Structure 1
Amino acid sequence: MDYLRWRDDMRQVIDGYLPRIQAVFARFRQLEPDTVTDEGDPAALRKAEEADPPLPRSLLELYASIREASFEHLCNAYFIHSLAWILDSLHRSDIPAWAPEATDERLAVFASDGGGRLFAVGYTSGTVFRLPVGAVANQVYAGSIDSIGPGEIAKDLADFLDRLLRLARAFSDEDYDERLVL
């Protein structure tokens, strides 16, 4: 996937929906714009190359092109966390590395939404999983507290980012259907 093109496409779509959102909330305050940062974090990339176990290659490729992304005004809000955040979270007991309900493989959480759901990529398959709000103990996701449940949401990181882009494009449309979510 061309992550730079994805970044540029997302920026263009943000320019399409943000004025509409700003018009609604202008009387309260000026909104911070949704963003996709320009460049990666060289120090975090060097550290990631030495991570044990090694991070999924697709994450390293993404973070060579962007630092992070914040889509606070897109639907329920979506956040692609920085590589530095991912590296810091690898050994935190409250961030899941395992989700037995969804998969047997190790996971790397890289994104979240405004509802507290986490998005994680499988180390082996590259599959992206959605982990709804739930308990985490010793890096093991202990289950969902909502009706959706954990599960596969995209075949890989490129598919996830493409779905996010399509969601943003639909959100830019005046006839947006609120049932479209990741």
Structure 2
Amino acid sequence: MIEFYSHVAQISLPDVGPGFFVDEAECVVEGVRGTRPTQVRSVPDRIVAVFGSDGGGALFAVDRQTGEIVRLEGGSLIGDVYEVEESGVQVIARDFEGFMQFLFGELLRQIPSGG
């Protein structure tokens, strides 16, 4: 993510799929300090840094132990703990680069194929 933020401030794709948003680095840092979920209580529990969202209310976070990118949906926020059923935690990518590839794929799906 450090490499990403050294080149890009944020991403806003409101018209792609449900909408995809990657926040500015300052928002991510503030979130790690407790303004956003920093722990996920699920199976398995995770320590996370939230860095974005989609237009449907789900959050995107990096697992700070594994590097996996997860989509969090349908949970409840209690303090800085996001409590959610296992079905509400979806692994989107193995790492941030994989998440960028996921976004690129979503963008390509929005381009009409001509013939």
TM norm structure 1: 0.57
Structure 1 unmatched ranges of 5 or more? 1-58, 176-182
Instruction: State the aligned residue count.
Output: 114
Higher strand share: 2
- What residue is the counterpart of 1:72 in the other structure? 14
Change (3 A) 1:82 1:113: same
- What residue is the counterpart of 1:165 in the other structure? 104
Distance 2:108 2:71 in 1: 21
Corresponding position: 1:91 with 2:30: no
Structure 2 unmatched ranges of 5 or more? none
Distance 1:113 1:102 in 2: 22
Higher helix share: 1
- Residue 79 of structure 1: CA displacement? 0.3
Corresponding position: 1:138 with 2:107: no
- CA deviation profile, 1:117-159 (whole Å, cap 9, x unmatched): 0010011211001101421112111115xxx521312111111
SS in structure 2 at match of 1:91 = helix
Q: Aligned letter for 1:123? A: R
TM norm structure 2: 0.88
- Residue 174 of structure 1: CA displacement? 4.5
**Larger Cα Rg: Structure 1 or Structure 2?**
1
- CA deviation profile, 1:151-175 (whole Å, cap 9, x unmatched): 3121111111101101101111248
Q: Is the 8 A contact 2:75 2:88 kept in 1?
A: no
Distance 1:68 1:121 in 2: 16
Q: Identity over aligned residues, as a percent?
A: 27
Q: Aligned letter for 2:97? A: A
- What residue is the counterpart of 1:106 in the other structure? 47
Distance 1:172 1:84 in 2: 32
Corresponding position: 1:82 with 2:21: no
CA RMSD of aligned residues (A): 2.0
